[in-house]
Amino acid sequence: MKRIIYWIIGIVLVAGIASAVWFWRARATEIPQYQEVRVKRDNLTTFVLTTGMAQPQNRLEIKSPVAGRVEEALVREGDKVRKGQILAWMSSTERAALMDAARAKGATELAYWEQLYKPTPLVAPLDGDIIARKIEPGQTVTASDILYVMSDRLIIEAQVDETDIGRIVVGQAADITLDAYPQDVIPGKVDQIAYEAKTVNNVTTYMVDVLPGKVPAFLRSGMTANIKVLTAATNGVLILPSEAVHTETNQTVVWRANPADRNKPLSVPIVTGLSDGKKIEICSGLQENDPVLVKAAFKTETKEDNQKNPFMPFGGKRKK
């Protein structure tokens, strides 16, 4: 008998809870909650962000003019050289053999042949930096061996996605930050844009050369860099947060408070301009300090909410 009573009580409780939930859902609806933002005047800049690598703009491999032996190596990696400067002295195979034989006969014989048979100079073909040295004095080399690698200047080769390449033009200012020296920002500019694309993993990119305004001493070939290219800038324009601007039936609008129904804001057409993804320029349709609505969250409307003044959509209650 007790078991039957418990079953009856349980069924009544479940039915009561279900009825209460149904009743509450019937009375309460989820309505959007808005917050107010105002049109303000500010500066707006847009950038293209990408990564790249420091590379020689013109990389030149210098090979030996003769097969033989390195007598002297006069420059090292990192040295700046000018066109025509002697980088090393080379002996041909014949001269090296003759010098070795003369050296065995004594200093006088060696001095005579050194004066008579001069070594061959290895000269720099252009002004630039030595970025690699692959020889040491006494080393035997062939005419195909690379002795030095030169660069006229280091640039940053950046990969720009095809969706952004239309915003890049030669001469635009850029900031370069190296992963190895993140605290140092190197100013530069766009120097060249490739005409041929590269496609890797179905992603199409174009190579863009960014030229540092002044190459710092710590910049090395192969360093990874982050590049920020300034594509557009405006000063003192009207702006709003991007989330405050919407598209309705192919028209750009913002929402403004509706005195007749706080849950249905009015759509006001506007004309927009520059956008950096977070802020957007307002060209017409609004004035400075105009309030607009941004959807913040959803809330459940209760009986207490029904007592709020419909002409105060941000939480004001009717005065009793």
pLDDT at 78 (0 to 100): 85
Class of domain 64-151: mainly beta
The two tokens of residue 49 are: 């962000």
Question: Cα–Cα distance between 34 and 246 in angstroms, integer?
Answer: 14
The answer to whether 149 touches 130, Cβ cutoff 8 Å, is yes
The overall average pLDDT reported for the chain is 86
pTM: predicted TM-score of the whole model, two decimal places: 0.61
Crossing angle between the packed helical segments 107-116 and 93-105, to the nearest 10 degrees: 150
Question: Cα–Cα distance between 313 and 257 in angstroms, integer?
Answer: 7
Every domain of the chain with CATH number 2.40.30.170 lies at 47-55+153-235
Span 75-85, average pLDDT: 93
Domain 47-55+153-235 in CATH 2.40.30.170? The answer is yes
pLDDT at 302 over 90: no
Confidence bin at 317 (pLDDT 50/70/90): very low
Every domain of the chain with CATH number 2.40.50.100 lies at 64-151
Question: Cα–Cα distance between 18 and 12 in angstroms, integer?
Answer: 10
Span 152-169, average pLDDT: 92
pLDDT at 255 over 90: yes
What pLDDT digit, counting tens, does each position of 3-52 carry?
666 566 667 666 677 666 665 565 545 566 888 999 999 999 999 999 99
Question: Cα–Cα distance between 170 and 258 in angstroms, integer?
Answer: 48
Confidence bin at 146 (pLDDT 50/70/90): very high
% of the chain with per-residue pLDDT over 70: 83
pLDDT at 314 (0 to 100): 44
The two tokens of residue 132 are: 């690699």
Look at 239 and 262; give whichever has higher pLDDT. Answer: 239
The answer to whether 103 touches 110, Cβ cutoff 8 Å, is yes
The answer to whether 187 touches 210, Cβ cutoff 8 Å, is no
